[in-house]
Amino acid sequence: MTAKEVQALIERYIEAYNALDVEGMLVLMHPDVVFRNIAGGKVTAEAVGIGALRALAVQSKELFASHRQEIMHLSIEGDRASASVDFEGVLAADVPGGPKAGETLRLRGRSEFEFRAGLFYQITDIS
C-alpha cells in the first residue's frame, strides 16, 4: 500500500468510528484482524477476528452516547502506521467503580496500525 492509501484507509476508519458506524469500520478489517486496547500498560480489551471485533465494537458503542477520536499526528512506514490521538467520549452508562453516565472522558494516546491485503490487520490503542 502507498502512504496515501494507508492514510485514506485510516481516515475512513476514524470517520466510521466517530459516527458509531460498526459495520462501516468492519468493512475495512482483514478477516483475521487483531485489536488490542492497552491502558496503563495493561491489555484491557482484545478481539481476534471480525466476529470478536464486532462484539467488542457493539459493546463499546453501548457504553458511549458519543465519542470522537482525532488524529493529531500520523506516521506511515510501509504497511505500518502510528498515530497520536485525542479521544473524547460522553458515557451513556455508568462504569462500575468509575465515571458515571453523562460524564466526559478525555484521553491522549497512540494508535498503531498494521495492514494486510489492503485492510487493517492489527490495531493497538495505547493510553
Retrieve residue 102's grid coordinates. 453523562
Instruction: Please give the mean pLDDT across all residues of the chain.
Output: 94
Give CB contacts under 8 A, 24+ apart, made by 100-107: 101/65, 102/65
Is the pTM for the entire model greater than 0.85?
Answer: yes
Q: Which fold has domain 3-126?
A: Nuclear Transport Factor 2; Chain: A, (3.10.450)
Task: List, for residues 15-49, the tens digit of each pLDDT value.
Answer: 999 999 999 999 999 999 999 999 889 999 999 99
Question: Coil, strand, or helix at residue 12?
Answer: helix
What proportion of the chain, given as a percentage, has pLDDT over 70? 100
pLDDT given at position 21: 94
| Whether pLDDT at 62 is above 90 | no
CB burial of residue 60 (10 Å; 0-12, 13-18, 19+): middle
